[in-house]
Structure 1
Amino acid sequence: MTALPAPELAVSRWFNTPEPLTLAGLRGRVVLLHAFQMLCPGCVSHGTPQAQRAHTLFRHTDLAVVGLHTVFEHHAAMTPVSLEAFIHEYRLTFPIGVDAHEGNQPVPVTMGRFKMRGTPTAIVIGRDGTIRHEGFGQEDDLALGAILGSLLTEKP
């Protein structure tokens, strides 16, 4: 299987970071991209806490955990103001971007670029900027941790 280059993020607003992030700017690091919606039960119960645990557990490595709030339904309820409250209430500390929308398209830009099927989605990007793992739905912590650990030990 050939690893495909990860497309760039299209983000309209960032939280928990002083500067906007890009995948190009994170090249050389392993990236865990966690795509979620705050009204997605699987995201709230499993995906988002898992991303926070990875952010905490791997904080002394060069893993970059990046959240992507990718809203493809219930747009009126999931605004950046609501997301800001969600981030505060769930004590999320990793950078989170709001996936950009173009026109009246229901699917956000980054979600479309990565051809995501829904949320939660975990995408692991290697140091070389290629997609090394894509997981949709609930993934076991140990399995995801093994993937991250393996990629973190690869030489740049």
Structure 2
Amino acid sequence: MPATVGETAPNLRISEWVQGLPTNIDQEKDHVVLVEVFQVNCPGCFIYAMPEAIKLYNEYQDDGFRVLGLATAFEDFDKNTLENLRMLAETGEVVGDTLQSLGGMGHLDGNKLTFKIPFPLAMDSLDSTGGEMDHDKMMAMIYPQIPDFDSRPEQFKQEIIERVRDYARSKLYSAGTFEEYSLRGTPSSILVDRKGILRDVSFGQNPGLESSIKKLVAE
């Protein structure tokens, strides 16, 4: 079953922790947890999402607030790798589009980030897909985006299913957490309260994220 806001948040599907002590959502009870989901080859993740996560971490870490960084991959599988995540954690070095974009903006020191990520970092689990996706997984992707899918015209439904099938065929791997939380891209944020209940899942910039965190840490 896909993750659902208002219900217990599923554990992250981790292949390896590359920074910090291994942990997971069920081990973080009594903490408010923000999972910052990113790709190594994602400029926007490092232009605004990661700096915001670091700011929130520094602001609220003494209030029972935790940030976990989760690198995933749904494209560019040659760059969004465990090896490049390890390099990022150990040296701050970035690659691909991130290197090109941030370097062009003057946001790098050579080929390295100008900031250190202070919280634990892990790699999402990646399983080979063989380029196919079964019906249940397709529906798990479609329903969060089109809640009234079943009531739509048959031609529309078939077109959407074909698009998802074509997308699946273009993928070499399926990322466990990315799929279970029905994420739409990166950066994405997953917010869990002190009782382990999923409170929010968002994609891109989230102007209300800090106010949600302030409310949860005060509960």
Could you state the TM-score of these two structures normalised by the residue count of structure 2? 0.65
Match of 2:187 in 1: 120
Verify: 1:152 aligned to 2:217, yes or no: yes
Q: Secondary structure at the match of 1:33?
A: strand
Match of 1:80 in 2: 82
Deviations 1:2-60 (A, max 9, x none): 6122111111111221x311111012210001100021122121111111111112121
Mapped contact 1:6–1:125 kept (Cα < 8 A): yes
Match of 1:45 in 2: 47
Verify: 1:10 aligned to 2:32, yes or no: no
Letter in 2 for 1:56: N
CA distance in 1 between counterparts of 2:83 and 2:127 reads 20
Structure whose alpha-carbon radius of gyration is higher? 2
Q: Secondary structure at the match of 1:59?
A: helix
CA distance in 2 between counterparts of 1:97 and 1:129 reads 19
Letter in 1 for 2:10: P
Mapped contact 1:6–1:114 kept (Cα < 8 A): no
Task: Give the alignment partner of residue 95 of structure 1, picking from 120, 136, 139.
Answer: 120
Mapped contact 2:40–2:80 kept (Cα < 8 A): yes
CA distance in 2 between counterparts of 1:93 and 1:102 reads 28
The 1:102–1:2 alpha-carbon spacing in structure 2 relative to 1, beyond 3 Å, is closer
Can you give the 5+ residue segments of structure 2 that lack an aligned partner in the other structure? Answer: 93-112, 130-171
- Size of the alignment, in residue pairs? 151
Deviations 1:106-133 (A, max 9, x none): 2300111111111111111011111111
Match of 1:109 in 2: 176
Mapped contact 2:25–2:196 kept (Cα < 8 A): yes
Moved more, 37-46 or 97-106: 97-106
CA distance in 1 between counterparts of 2:5 and 2:85 reads 36
Can you give the 5+ residue segments of structure 1 that lack an aligned partner in the other structure? Answer: none
Could you state the TM-score of these two structures normalised by the residue count of structure 1? 0.89
Mapped contact 2:5–2:198 kept (Cα < 8 A): no
Verify: 1:32 aligned to 2:34, yes or no: yes
Match of 2:169 in 1: none
CA distance in 2 between counterparts of 1:2 and 1:118 reads 18
CA distance in 2 between counterparts of 1:6 and 1:149 reads 19
Letter in 2 for 1:16: Q
Moved more, 81-90 or 105-114: 81-90
Mapped contact 1:42–1:138 kept (Cα < 8 A): no
Q: Secondary structure at the match of 2:200?
A: strand
Q: What fraction of aligned residue pairs are identical, expressed as a percent?
A: 28
